[in-house]
Structure 1
Amino acid sequence: MDSPRHIVHIDLDSFFVSVERKFNPSLIGKPVIIGGSADRGVVASCSYEARAFGVHSAMPTRQALKLCPHAIVIRGTHGRYSEASREVTEIIHQSVPLYQKSSVDEFYIDLSGMERFYDPYKVATELRQRVIRETGLPISFGMASCKTVAKMATNQSKPNGQLRVMPGKEREFLAPLPIGKIPGLGKNTCQKLYQYGIEKIGDLQRVDIRFLETVFGKMGVFIHETAHGIDHTEIIPHGDRKSISTEHTFDTNVNDRRTLENILVAMTEELAAKLRQENKVSSCLAIKIRYANFETHTQQQKIALTAAEHILIPGIKNLLKQAWNQHRPIRLIGVKLSDLCTGSYQINLFEDNEERIRLYQAMDNINFKFGNKTVCRAAGMEIGARTFNPFLKS
């Protein structure tokens, strides 16, 4: 029989808020919102004090301020968050043999096999204490036999806590939790499950997998396995990035071309700016579309090496035309730039001019100093400043 895995999920609590509080301790204990303007912005992050009033990420800032009028709104500074994330990554890199950085403030660590020499839970505890001690940032972790249960354990341990789900106890841990706690389970899926009287994960554990497959198709298998604490996903070692991507799940399925193109423009701008910041270029672009029934399609195209959105955006729009059946509403859309290599943007002698090159440099400098989307295309602004997380999954 195979030995159980020891997977740790680490999450920096209210990361953007915590970083801002390091620079301005007067914010401690107060409701804080990180996001855009009250007119067009959305909440990128918020403190637990603001969450107590019903504020949450991706909520329009205008709505958040109605719920919590005395909240302090901060636009946020990308450079600060990137540096703090780098500090935490370096500590983890020095401390464990295998880890995956899944976002600016989330990590998965595989301590499997270490139990022959060390207590994996003690190793994770000491790592958490070191991060708190050296960065001053609150951090939570969950430990379990797979990534999904570890992530759910982290969410149960917040704020600033830790929780271990022992091997064999996964079903017992999951059973009392609401089905909405399952990562990746959207509102529409939850609503459909509620109609069948399924509210807790324990209810799901008693449902036959064939019923879930009939109602949800392939997604039914995922729901069934997750409810039973089954997830064979491996830790992808952190190393030299070969691709960069971001995606957005809509609260309500969308079939409006202009809305989809606008969000693709905003996504592509973010990715292109990130490439230029890291001195990288891409030679392959792709989009991902997921329909309401969870059927997923991808379309990709090889291109000349570039990190310029005036080249990437037309390509992404063209891929949307090829991949999307316009009669079907979309629940998730994503952009991916891959086949990355080190290098700077190559000037096109026939299309570019000095003004365009200076424009990119100026935009990058302003956005790095004052935060993403300070300067962007008008199409990207039409989606309400930002409707997806500004910091990218890698």
Structure 2
Amino acid sequence: MDEKRHIVHIDLDSFFVSVERLHDKSLEGKPVLIGGSSQRGVVASCSYEARKYGVHSAMPMKKALQLCPHATVIGGNYSSYSKASAHVTQIIKDSVPLFEKTSIDEFYIDLTGMDKFYGCYQIASELRQAVIKETGLPISFGLSSNKTVSKIATGQAKPSGQLFVEHGMEKQFLAPLSVSKIPMVGEKSCEVLYSIGIHKIGDLQVQDVKNLERHFGKMGLVMWNKANGIDNSPVSPYHERKSISSENTFQKDVLDVAGIEQLMISMLEQLTFKLRNENKVSSCLAVKIRYSDFETATQQISIPPTHSDILIIPELKKLFEKAYQKGRAVRLIGVRLSNLSEGSYQPGLFDNHERNENLYKALDKLNSRFGTKTVSRAATFGISSREFNPFIRD
């Protein structure tokens, strides 16, 4: 007989907002939006107070402010979010034998077999309380026999709650919920399901799989399995991320090549600041350009392992020149640093390594305390980090 699985899904509630509230208590109980403040900026995260007005992540900031005009808008501070995420990750790492980190604020934990020694629900409950106590961040979890049901259970437990779906009760738990609650079932799929009379997960549970496959192809069976609480996907052991990136969508399509280059340098400054903050180096640089007709061009190059923007900027300029088609209006630009590893870069024979490192330590200290653009190059002066949207989270 197969051993019963016990899978926990953990999600930090309104993570970016919650981190901001740790630093500014006046934000408590107020509608808060994190993201770009421009006309074409988007909401990266929002508080539950803002969600009451219909605001959600990935919504254009302009629309969000129409729905909730009295909301406080914050550009966001990746350094703070990264530190908070690392703190939570370490607590989980020290507490459980196997976990998977799927995003900056979301985890799966496999407690299978632990019930022989200690109740799995009690283990998860104590872990949640430890995170709350040590970080001050609200957190929710769902516990069940698999990833899908546990993730949905977490959503039902929010905000700041916990829920255990016992073995054999998966279908009964899922049946009354909207099909939109199923992970990976997006708006378009929901529209198709609604059009054929399927609104609740219970409706989906009793459908003929062949009928679903006529509308969704192979995804039809996947949806049916999830609706019936069937998910055998494993919890993959956690590995550190291998890339970081930043993208910016312009308010209006632009032709100002010099301005685009300045902005990309500013984005690179912020990414290398994150690398130094996490004691990492990168050995691959990539740039991305999306034109007004949505055609996208990318270029990348290997670089010596480094966290120094001084060394990367010349390569960034070369890549941009290679990727950009002169005379075309640009809608979006992006910079990515990948092949990340722990440690500091190996200085070249003629590098003024010690001086550069001391300078970075001083600059990073100021930027960590007062914001990531407190001190920057003269070439990027006046470029606001509020326009960057490197992440979108619920």
How far apart are the structure 1 equivalents of 2:359 and 2:220? 48
Report how far residue 182 of structure 1 moved: 1.3
Change (3 A) 1:342 1:358: closer
Q: 1:185-204: per-residue Cα shift (whole Å, max 9, x none)?
A: 22112112222112111121
One-letter amino acid of the counterpart of residue 5, structure 2: R
| Aligned equivalent of 1:24 | 24
Change (3 A) 1:70 1:371: same
One-letter amino acid of the counterpart of residue 8, structure 1: V
SS of residue paired to 1:148: helix
How far apart are the structure 2 equivalents of 1:306 and 1:205? 52
| Aligned equivalent of 2:153 | 153
Report how far residue 144 of structure 1 moved: 0.9
Change (3 A) 1:386 1:111: same
Q: 1:385 aligns with which of 381, 387, 390?
A: 387
How far apart are the structure 2 equivalents of 1:119 and 1:97? 15
1:278-317 matches, cutoff 5 A: 278-282=278-282, 305=305, 311=315
| Aligned equivalent of 1:220 | 220
How far apart are the structure 1 equivalents of 2:59 and 2:76? 16
Report how far residue 92 of structure 1 moved: 1.8
How far apart are the structure 2 equivalents of 1:219 and 1:312? 40
Change (3 A) 1:305 1:69: same
Contact 1:11 1:105 in 2 (8 A): yes
How far apart are the structure 1 equivalents of 2:273 and 2:336? 14
| Aligned equivalent of 1:36 | 36
| Aligned equivalent of 1:52 | 52
1:276-355 matches, cutoff 5 A: 277-282=277-282, 305=305, 311=315, 337-338=338-339, 340=341, 342-344=343-345
One-letter amino acid of the counterpart of residue 244, structure 1: S
Contact 1:244 1:271 in 2 (8 A): no
Contact 2:9 2:154 in 1 (8 A): yes
Report how far residue 112 of structure 1 moved: 0.7
Q: 1:262-285: per-residue Cα shift (whole Å, max 9, x none)?
A: 9xx899998766445434345568
How far apart are the structure 1 equivalents of 2:230 and 2:301? 35
Say which one has the larger Rg. 2
Aligned-residue identity in percent:
52
How far apart are the structure 2 equivalents of 1:231 and 1:373? 45
One-letter amino acid of the counterpart of residue 123, structure 1: I
Q: 1:292-312: per-residue Cα shift (whole Å, max 9, x none)?
A: xxxxxxx99977656677657
One-letter amino acid of the counterpart of residue 82, structure 2: S
How far apart are the structure 2 equivalents of 1:78 and 1:216? 38
Q: Does 1:196 align with 2:162?
A: no
How far apart are the structure 1 equivalents of 2:337 and 2:190? 28
One-letter amino acid of the counterpart of residue 391, structure 2: N
One-letter amino acid of the counterpart of residue 344, structure 1: Y
| Aligned equivalent of 1:257 | none
Change (3 A) 1:302 1:19: closer
SS of residue paired to 2:163: strand
The alignment's TM-score, normalised by the length of structure 2, stands at 0.72
SS of residue paired to 1:70: coil
One-letter amino acid of the counterpart of residue 243, structure 2: I
SS of residue paired to 1:73: strand
1:224-239 matches, cutoff 5 A: 224-239=224-239
How far apart are the structure 2 equivalents of 1:139 and 1:161? 7
RMSD: 4.5
Q: Does 1:82 align with 2:55?
A: no
One-letter amino acid of the counterpart of residue 107, structure 1: F
Contact 1:77 1:368 in 2 (8 A): no
| Aligned equivalent of 1:144 | 144
Report how far residue 67 of structure 1 moved: 0.7
How far apart are the structure 1 equivalents of 2:166 and 2:371? 41
Change (3 A) 1:359 1:174: farther
Contact 1:373 1:385 in 2 (8 A): no
Change (3 A) 1:71 1:341: closer
How far apart are the structure 2 equivalents of 1:18 and 1:214? 43
The alignment's TM-score, normalised by the length of structure 1, stands at 0.72
How far apart are the structure 2 equivalents of 1:316 and 1:213? 44
Report how far residue 163 of structure 1 moved: 0.5
Contact 1:132 1:139 in 2 (8 A): yes
How far apart are the structure 2 equivalents of 1:15 and 1:107? 13
Listed as ranges, the gaps of 5+ residues in structure 1 are 249-261, 288-298, 320-332, 350-355
Listed as ranges, the gaps of 5+ residues in structure 2 are 248-260, 288-298, 324-333, 351-355
Q: Does 1:95 align with 2:74?
A: no
1:262-273 matches, cutoff 5 A: none
Change (3 A) 1:64 1:168: same
Contact 1:10 1:142 in 2 (8 A): yes
Change (3 A) 1:49 1:193: same
How far apart are the structure 2 equivalents of 1:318 and 1:312? 10
How far apart are the structure 2 equivalents of 1:300 and 1:162? 44
| Aligned equivalent of 1:108 | 108
| Aligned equivalent of 1:244 | 243
Change (3 A) 1:9 1:270: farther
